[in-house]
Structure 1
């Protein structure tokens, strides 16, 4: 399978770049076919497969709360 060889050769390529690589080398394939093959054999690009933590700026209570002098 040319797709497996291309993925092993270029580990950071996704299905779009693998499709372009195969098309430039004379193997004219559809991007959906490449995507289906990569999903079937779980051939993922290794660079972006790790999920990053979602940004959270909450730090809890910062500073102190002023006393209520109106309803005291």
Structure 2
């Protein structure tokens, strides 16, 4: 049980999110399987991770920041 919980937390911490065929971003499936306390823990850990990613990035962006900018740029090319 603990392994499953840790696996869900690790998955929910990634910047990847599924998208619908029309391009809308959905919540990570693992998020929906976490209890409220674990969701708070994931949120807090994600904030810390994104700050570390941004500190290491030459542009000062997290993986989430890069993903958002990539989507904006892709929309501009349509």
Normalising to structure 2: TM-score of the pair?
Answer: 0.30
- The structure having more radius of gyration, on CA atoms, is 1
Q: Which fold has the larger relative contact order, with Cα–Cα distance below 8 Å and residues 6 or more apart in sequence?
A: 1
- Name the one with the larger helix percent: 2
